[in-house]
Amino acid sequence: MHYCCKPCWNEYLTTRIEQNMVVNCTCPISECRAQPTAAFISAIVSSEEIIAKYEKALLRGYVECCSNLTWCTNPQGCDQILLKDGLGYGAACSKCSWISCFNCNFPEAHYPASCSHMSHMTCAKCNHGFCWRCLKPWRPTHKDYYNCSALVSKAAWQEKRFQDYNKRCTFHHQAREFAMNLRNRVSSINETPKMRTLTFVLEACKVLEEARKVLAYSCVYSYYSQDMDSMDIVEQQTESLELHTNAL
């Protein structure tokens, strides 16, 4: 029941909305924790643009508070809200068709690499290894730790092995970008009047994109895999897929 003049309320609420702090907005009177209602804010703030920002902030706050809701992770931008139930590993957005993994924070599905594989990150500038989930140093708080000063030869071997897999992974990601650009160019040609349909080429480009993504994350899986008995089969399958993908 504290009173303030309407111009002060309007300026106060507008500032909070523009600073994305309206969800936890309280009465401007010192030490009062009462929160203004949505109806009160709509009655005070006259700008339609500011009200639109307020409604977006409410929606964003609601999604973030609901453990069963999440946003589509498409890095190109998508405002679709998804229900996590039944999504799990490798779910496709119904709006933009982006395939995400909702079991971890990685922005896209990463089959056949597991979520734990995607947690181990290395800075490209200083080579600092850290966990993607908790941001703590990968060593010694995480697995795969060993005394590098006592195992110099092993460290050198692992460094060479990492560089080989990283090079292959980077190549497939770049090749995937090429396939995406190719599909976009073919799509624009396909829309030209009197042009023969190029649907089969577009489908081939989509298959090419998916194959390159699987090959890229196969490198991650192979690098971190501890099951040496199955690695020969995995490498054979990967090599076969790579040959067919290059031919395509």
Whether residue 48 is found in the same domain as residue 135: no
What 8-state DSSP symbol labels residue 2? -
Q: Residue 212 pLDDT more than 90? A: yes
Q: What is the mean pLDDT of residues 199-216?
A: 91
pLDDT at 148: 32
- 218 lies in some domain: yes
pLDDT at 133: 61
Secondary structure E strands in the chain: 69-71, 81-83, 91-92, 99-100, 120-122, 129-131
The token pair that represents 246 in the structure block: 């290059």
- 232 lies in some domain: yes
Whether residue 224 is found in the same domain as residue 175: yes
Give residue-wise pLDDT tens across range 91-135.
678 888 888 776 766 777 777 777 766 666 667 667 777 766 666
Give residue-wise pLDDT tens across range 148-191.
333 345 566 677 788 888 889 999 999 999 999 999 888 888 77
Instruction: Look up the pTM and report it.
Output: 0.47
Whether residue 228 is found in the same domain as residue 132: yes
- Domain count within the chain: 3
- 116 lies in some domain: no
Whether residue 72 is found in the same domain as residue 128: no
- Rg of the chain's alpha carbons, rounded to an integer? 25
Position 207 confidence tier, pLDDT thresholds 50, 70, 90: very high
d(CA 220, CA 111): 10
Whether residue 33 is found in the same domain as residue 20: yes
- Which of 98, 131, 134 has its CA nearest to residue 117? 131
Give residue-wise pLDDT tens across range 7-41.
998 998 998 888 888 777 888 887 888 888 889 99
- 1 lies in some domain: no
Q: Residue 146 pLDDT more than 50? A: no
- 92 lies in some domain: yes
> Which residues sit opposite 137 in a β-bridge?
130
Give the percent of the chain with pLDDT over 70: 77
pLDDT at 153: 56
- 118 lies in some domain: no
Q: Domain boundary residue among 109, 133, 162?
A: 109
Give residue-wise pLDDT tens across range 33-60.
888 888 999 899 988 999 998 998 888 8
Distances (CA, A) of 240 to 155, 188, 235, 237, 243: 30, 32, 9, 5, 5
Contact, 74 vs 93, CB < 8 A?
A: yes
Whether residue 220 is found in the same domain as residue 127: yes
> Which residues sit opposite 131 in a β-bridge?
120
Q: Domain boundary residue among 109, 137, 166?
A: 109
pLDDT at 234: 82
Whether residue 96 is found in the same domain as residue 161: no
- 185 lies in some domain: yes
Please tell me whether residue 127 adopts helix, strand or coil conformation: coil
Q: Domain boundary residue among 44, 79, 109?
A: 109
Whether residue 130 is found in the same domain as residue 235: yes
Whether residue 201 is found in the same domain as residue 101: no
Whether residue 186 is found in the same domain as residue 236: yes
- 114 lies in some domain: no
Domain of residue 102 covers 66-109
d(CA 190, CA 75): 26
Whether residue 19 is found in the same domain as residue 79: no
Whether residue 176 is found in the same domain as residue 207: yes
